[in-house]
């Protein structure tokens, strides 16, 4: 394998890893996926920004299946 091929492979893997928080957020249907995407694109190049985006994308996605405590039915 020549260095050009290795370079393209590393670029592809690096780009995929860079946008991983965005992919996770959209795949889980996270309601804050657009905000996570913006954070990932703007601050993901820093380790702290990427970690915040990754942790945020892995939090419980609110897709309408859960109710906030104030909306819970009274019994």
Q: Give the tens place of pLDDT for each residue, 1-20.
A: 899 999 999 999 999 999 99
In angstroms, the CA 68 to CA 11 distance is: 42
What is the percentage of the chain residues whose pLDDT exceeds 70?
80
Residue 65 has pLDDT above 80, yes or no: no
Lowest mean pLDDT among 25-29, 51-55, 70-74: 70-74
> Is residue 41 a contact partner of residue 73, using CB atoms and an 8 Å limit?
no
- Taking alpha carbons only, the member of 59, 17, 60 closest to residue 40 is 17
> Is residue 31 a contact partner of residue 63, using CB atoms and an 8 Å limit?
yes
The pTM of the full predicted model, rounded to 2 decimals, is 0.74
Domain range summary for the chain, segments of one domain joined by +: 18-59
């Amino acid at each position: 394998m020549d260095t050009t091929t290795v370079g393209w492979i590393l670029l592809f893997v690096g780009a995929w890893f860079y946008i991983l928080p965005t992919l996770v957020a959209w795949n889980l249907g996270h309601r804050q996926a657009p905000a996570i995407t913006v954070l990932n694109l703007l601050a993901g190049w820093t380790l702290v920004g990427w970690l915040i985006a990754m942790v945020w994308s892995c939090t419980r996605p609110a897709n309408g299946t859960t109710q906030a405590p104030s909306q819970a039915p009274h019994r």
